[in-house]
Structure 1
């Protein structure tokens, strides 16, 4: 065992409503912070790289979009690029376009898990405002590996899902307003920690190695379920605690998988509604055409089919209203 002067790796996750608390946090950190910060914010794959520029103007620490293989330096902020996971491997930043986690890329869990494996008790995890529960599994891993975790006070967060989930997944996470998280980080970066030989977790190591493309796709650890992956429709395996993964490597919490399944059902309903509308319009044309030709018996048959289609259409529309609104561009 060795004593390290402080925790020197900070990983931060934010999603909906998380930009302002993130800027507040960065604005209160000292310019000589003896820790590297890596940030994941859920953004659109086509969202561009403006985020690092916005954060660079938020405080004294230089902030930039992470580059693959870039050595991590204390007092710098590295931001995940759109459509790329950000990982830590051998004290360098790594980028991956590997399988989505919790339906996201970048996602918080891969960053937090890789940091826990790479830095162990030297890791600090922070979860800010966001929906659902990305970052909860990673926060639990950081704590399990001896690191420290803080969450933005759910009562202060614009969206409390992510902070609340991380709090529920851990036993000692600190609950703080965003304005006080910076001081908490500074305190931990200056407090000596005892480091030890990295503990082994073969399943976590396999998951991170898959994202880093260091090994072939294998069968996940856990029990085969009757579920299918919302991303690729492959078989899903369940591992503790309520962690789901397919053979491709898409990984889900129970909550994020339920959310994605709901989105898939809604898309399927909209497709069915569109097809039934087209069918009803086509049958209406066939009714008029049959009448114009004096084929009244045929026209009545088409009318019955059209009316049945319209009834089915109204049923699906009512069901869709119970599930959600209009579809959005993917």
Structure 2
């Protein structure tokens, strides 16, 4: 492999690790960013787009057609190469360590897998000042903590201008979490990436991340912070909250991590699921009560039949009430965008 195109073997380098996060409204922004990038870009791009676990695998093809750089779904263990775009596959986190790409089925963060924060944090840990963090259109605040980690490690952060973004939640959250993030139009982010990739920076830590993985395993067994009095919407385990001068983060023993906004969103989803289960059980109770009433009527037990009919009416009214409640449980965000084509 040509060492000049292998970030793991590059000793003198510009910012050659570009991590990109997008969610709702992000596909068009990704295309706008990739289109002007030159084919000889001395950097590797790693992309996370929020998609459902069963989402299609069309995104790499869409991005491959967007510009000069080759885009493909990330494969666990493959080495990083300059001039390539690595796309997180559905239901897998995308990480960088040991000079290569890793895909991981670890716990969801902010209700997502893939999520932006794990990618950004792993890149900051492994490559320090050589990292460019980019946050595009999306709801809520995934990527904000990751951008803060990139900036603390000496990297730089740019976001799609919130005024241009289809959904400005993620760009605004990244701006709020950092001191020096630059807001730019999607089409102008390519020039920023190209310039930064060709500007020499200080030495980065040796690619690895083993210490980070040990810390992550310890944090899962004993999450830092204090008990929040709440449970994880994903697994039901107790949530610890940690602030320490930063926006609060909530973590359970499994390793699910939430911001305040994503936790509120996850709670809304959990409440809706619970209400639909209750609706199903009550509808079954209506049907069973009606069958019991009919059977009692056939046997001439009119009083028993009326008791069962009253039970059916009561359960039916409860169903109507719960359906009304479900309509009132509005999540903070909408559905994640699914790529087509």
The verdict on a shared fold, with TM-score over 0.5 as the criterion, is yes
Aligned residue for 2:223?
Answer: 220
Matched, 1:267 2:270: no
SS of aligned partner of 1:270: helix
SS of aligned partner of 2:202: strand
SS of aligned partner of 1:194: coil
Task: For residues 47-106 of structure 1, give each alpha carbon's deviation from its aligned partner in whole angstroms, at most 9, with x where no partner exists.
Answer: 343221221111111122112222211111111112111101032111111111111111
SS of aligned partner of 2:83: coil
Deviation at 1:197, TM superposition (A): 5.6
C-alpha distance in 1, partners of 2:164/2:265? 24
Aligned residue for 2:6?
Answer: none
Asked if the contact 1:8–1:122 (Cα under 8 Å) also holds between the matched residues in 2, the reply is yes
C-alpha distance in 2, partners of 1:286/1:126? 62
Aligned residue for 1:152?
Answer: 160
The RMSD of aligned alpha carbons is 2.4
Match of 2:251 among 226, 229, 245: 245
C-alpha distance in 2, partners of 1:120/1:317? 50
Residues 45, 197 of structure 1: alpha-carbon distance in 2 compared, 3 angstrom cutoff:
closer
Deviation at 1:5, TM superposition (A): 4.2
Matched, 1:257 2:260: no
Tell me how many residue pairs correspond in the alignment.
317
Match of 2:189 among 170, 181, 196: 181
Asked if the contact 1:120–1:146 (Cα under 8 Å) also holds between the matched residues in 2, the reply is yes
Deviation at 1:265, TM superposition (A): 0.7
Asked if the contact 1:110–1:208 (Cα under 8 Å) also holds between the matched residues in 2, the reply is no
Match of 1:123 among 107, 127, 131: 131
Task: For residues 125-183 of structure 1, give each alpha carbon's deviation from its aligned partner in whole angstroms, at most 9, with x where no partner exists.
Answer: 00111122111110111111111111111121112121121112112111111010000
C-alpha distance in 2, partners of 1:216/1:121? 25
Taking structure 1 as the reference length, the TM-score comes to 0.89
Matched, 1:55 2:63: yes
Aligned residue for 2:232?
Answer: 229
SS of aligned partner of 1:232: coil
C-alpha distance in 2, partners of 1:33/1:258? 40
Match of 2:290 among 284, 288, 311: 284
Aligned residue for 1:17?
Answer: 25
Deviation at 1:286, TM superposition (A): 2.4
Deviation at 1:274, TM superposition (A): 1.6
Matched, 1:81 2:125: no
C-alpha distance in 2, partners of 1:245/1:142? 21
Structure 1 stretches of at least 4 aligned residues deviating more than 3 Å after TM superposition? 195-198, 206-210
Residues 91, 196 of structure 1: alpha-carbon distance in 2 compared, 3 angstrom cutoff:
closer
Gaps of 5+ in 1: none
Asked if the contact 1:114–1:208 (Cα under 8 Å) also holds between the matched residues in 2, the reply is no
C-alpha distance in 2, partners of 1:67/1:209? 22
Match of 1:92 among 96, 100, 103: 100
Aligned residue for 2:109?
Answer: 101
C-alpha distance in 1, partners of 2:319/2:76? 50
